[in-house]
Chains A and B, each alone.
Chain A
Amino acid sequence: MFLTRFHTKTRLALQNVWAELTTKALLSATVLSLILSGTTMISMTNLTNAASQSTKQQSSSRVSQFVLGNGMQVLVIPDHRAPVVTHMVWYHVGAADEPPGKAGVAHFLEHLMFKGTEKIAPAEFSKIIARNGGRDNAFTSQDATVYHQRVASDRLPLVMKLEADRMRNLKLDDKTVRTERDVVLEERRSRTDNSPSAILSEQMMAALYVSHPYGAPVIGWEHEIKALNLKDAMEFYRQFYAPNNAILIVAGDVTRAQVEKLAKATYGKIERMEAVKMQPCPQEAPPAAPRRVILKDKRAGKASFSRLYLVPSYNTARQGEAEAIDLMMKILAGGSTSLMYNDLVVDDKIATSVSGWYESSGRDYGRIGFHALAAGKNSIRDVEKALDKEIAKFIKNGPTQKQLERAKNSYIAEYVYGVDSQSTLARRYGWALVVGQSVKDVEEWPKRLEKVTTKDISRVAAKYLVEKASVTGLLFPVEKTKQARKTTLRKRRKRS
Chain B
Amino acid sequence: MISLLLEWRHAKKLALLFLTTFFVLTGFYFMSSKSSLVVAKNSGSEDLMLSTSESSLDKKPASKYADRIQQVTSPKGITAWLVEDHSIPLMALQFAFTGGSTQDPKGREGLANFLTAMLDEGAGNIKSKKFQAMLDEMAIRIDFDASRDAFDGNFQTLTRNRDKALELMYLALNKPRFDKKALERIREQLLAGLKISAKSPSKIASRAWFEAAYGNHPYARPVKGTQKSVSSITSKDLEAYRRKVFARDTLKIGVVGDITADELAVALDKLFGDLPEKSDLVTVPEIAELGGPVRRVINMDNPQSVAQFGHQGIKREDEDFIPAYVLNYILGGGGFSSRLMEEVREKRGLAYSVYSYLYPLDHGAMFIGGVATKNAKLEKSLDVITSELKRLSENGPSEEELKNAKLYLTGSYPLRFDTSSKIASQLLWIQMDDLGIDYIDMRNKKVQDVTLKQIKSVAKRLIRPERLIITIVGNPKSG
Question: B410: shortest Cβ distance to chain A, in Å?
Answer: 7
**A24/B133 contact (C-beta < 8 A), A35-B26, A194-B304, A375-B188 known:** no
Q: Interface stretch among A318-326, A349-357, A390-398, A433-441? A: A349-357
Question: B117: shortest Cβ distance to chain A, in Å?
Answer: 4
Flag if B333 contacts A21 (CB, 8 Å): no
Give the nearest-CB partner of A427 in chain B.
B25
Name B192's contact: one of A22, A137, A473 (CB within 8 Å). Answer: A22
Flag if B407 contacts A133 (CB, 8 Å): yes
Name B49's contact: one of A6, A133, A136 (CB within 8 Å). Answer: A133
Flag if A35 contacts B4 (CB, 8 Å): yes
Flag if A19 contacts B197 (CB, 8 Å): yes
Flag if A301 contacts B414 (CB, 8 Å): no
Flag if A413 contacts B139 (CB, 8 Å): yes
Interface set, chain A 323-361, CB cutoff 8 A to B: 333-338, 341-342, 345-346, 349, 352-357, 359
CA distance A204 to B18 in the complex (A): 13
Flag if A181 contacts B407 (CB, 8 Å): no
Instruction: Tell which of B34, B410, B413, B415 has the most Cβ of chain A within 10 Å.
Output: B415
Q: Interface stretch among A123-131, A166-174, A447-455? A: A123-131
Instruction: Tell which of B195, B206, B342, B413 has the most Cβ of chain A within 10 Å.
Output: B195
Flag if B141 contacts A30 (CB, 8 Å): yes
Neighbouring B residues of A414 by C-beta, 8 Å = 139
Question: B125: shortest Cβ distance to chain A, in Å?
Answer: 19
CA distance A23 to B37 in the complex (A): 22
CA distance A10 to B418 in the complex (A): 18
B70 within 8 A of A: no
**A190/B136 contact (C-beta < 8 A), A19-B224, A84-B415, A336-B6 known:** no
Flag if A83 contacts B60 (CB, 8 Å): yes
CA distance A407 to B447 in the complex (A): 48
Interface set, chain B 78-100, CB cutoff 8 A to A: 85, 87-90
Give the nearest-CB partner of B411 in chain A.
A133
Flag if A126 contacts B337 (CB, 8 Å): yes
Per-residue contact bits, chain B 105-128, to A (CB 8 Å; 1 contact, 0 not): 000000001001110110000001
CA distance A349 to B418 in the complex (A): 42
Name A197's contact: one of B17, B198, B300 (CB within 8 Å). Answer: B17
Flag if A10 contacts B31 (CB, 8 Å): yes
Neighbouring B residues of A226 by C-beta, 8 Å = none
Give the nearest-CB partner of A139 in chain B.
B24
Neighbouring B residues of A114 by C-beta, 8 Å = 336
Flag if B27 contacts A134 (CB, 8 Å): no
Flag if B196 contacts A179 (CB, 8 Å): no
B373 within 8 A of A: yes
A40 within 8 A of B: yes
Flag if A131 contacts B407 (CB, 8 Å): yes
A302 within 8 A of B: yes
Per-residue contact bits, chain A 1-39, to B (CB 8 Å; 1 contact, 0 not): 111101111111111111111111111111111111110
Flag if B30 contacts A6 (CB, 8 Å): yes
Interface set, chain A 411-450, CB cutoff 8 A to B: 413-414, 416-417, 419-424, 427
Interface set, chain B 175-198, CB cutoff 8 A to A: 181, 185-186, 188-190, 192-198
Per-residue contact bits, chain A 103-133, to B (CB 8 Å; 1 contact, 0 not): 0000000000010000000110011001111
Flag if B414 contacts A84 (CB, 8 Å): yes
A409 within 8 A of B: yes
Flag if A133 contacts B10 (CB, 8 Å): no
A182 within 8 A of B: yes
Flag if A35 contacts B414 (CB, 8 Å): no
Cross-chain pair count, CB within 8 angstroms: 472
Q: Which 6 A-B pairs have the closest CB atoms?
A: A133-B411, A355-B8, A197-B13, A26-B7, A182-B349, A413-B139
Q: Interface stretch among B50-58, B244-252, B266-274, B429-437? A: B50-58
Flag if A424 contacts B25 (CB, 8 Å): yes
Name B11's contact: one of A191, A204, A372 (CB within 8 Å). Answer: A372
**A21/B302 contact (C-beta < 8 A), A179-B347, A197-B14, A301-B199 known:** no
Per-residue contact bits, chain B 284-305, to A (CB 8 Å; 1 contact, 0 not): 0000000000000000111110
Name B10's contact: one of A25, A154, A253 (CB within 8 Å). Answer: A25
Q: Interface stretch among B351-359, B386-394, B449-457, B460-468? A: B351-359
**A81/B407 contact (C-beta < 8 A), A31-B143, A35-B4, A373-B12 known:** no
A386 within 8 A of B: no
Question: B467: shortest Cβ distance to chain A, in Å?
Answer: 22
Flag if A28 contacts B418 (CB, 8 Å): no
**A302/B10 contact (C-beta < 8 A), A20-B145, A21-B19, A190-B353 known:** no
CA distance A34 to B156 in the complex (A): 14
Flag if A186 contacts B351 (CB, 8 Å): yes
Interface set, chain B 403-424, CB cutoff 8 A to A: 404, 407-415, 417-421
5 A/B residue pairs, CB under 8 Å, sorted by A: A17-B23, A37-B18, A152-B50, A200-B13, A336-B132
Question: A418: shortest Cβ distance to chain B, in Å?
Answer: 10
Neighbouring A residues of B138 by C-beta, 8 Å = 413
A41 within 8 A of B: yes
Give the nearest-CB partner of A122 in chain B.
B346
Give the nearest-CB partner of A198 in chain B.
B17
CA distance A304 to B17 in the complex (A): 14
Name A137's contact: one of B6, B24, B200 (CB within 8 Å). Answer: B24
Flag if B355 contacts A11 (CB, 8 Å): yes
Name A37's contact: one of B19, B34, B300 (CB within 8 Å). Answer: B19
Name B418's contact: one of A37, A82, A132, A473 (CB within 8 Å). Answer: A82
Flag if B419 contacts A420 (CB, 8 Å): yes
Name B194's contact: one of A23, A37, A417 (CB within 8 Å). Answer: A23
CA distance A371 to B14 in the complex (A): 7
Name A200's contact: one of B14, B15, B58, B206 (CB within 8 Å). Answer: B14
Name B14's contact: one of A33, A201, A416 (CB within 8 Å). Answer: A201
B16 within 8 A of A: yes
Flag if B29 contacts A134 (CB, 8 Å): no
B62 within 8 A of A: no
CA distance A181 to B29 in the complex (A): 21
Flag if A4 contacts B24 (CB, 8 Å): yes
Task: List 10 additional contacts besides A27-B135, A201-B17, A338-B8; criterion CB under 8 Å.
Answer: A13-B37, A26-B10, A28-B120, A28-B141, A33-B4, A37-B19, A131-B404, A179-B348, A183-B349, A195-B13
B318 within 8 A of A: no
A381 within 8 A of B: no
A404 within 8 A of B: no
B216 within 8 A of A: no
Flag if B34 contacts A83 (CB, 8 Å): no
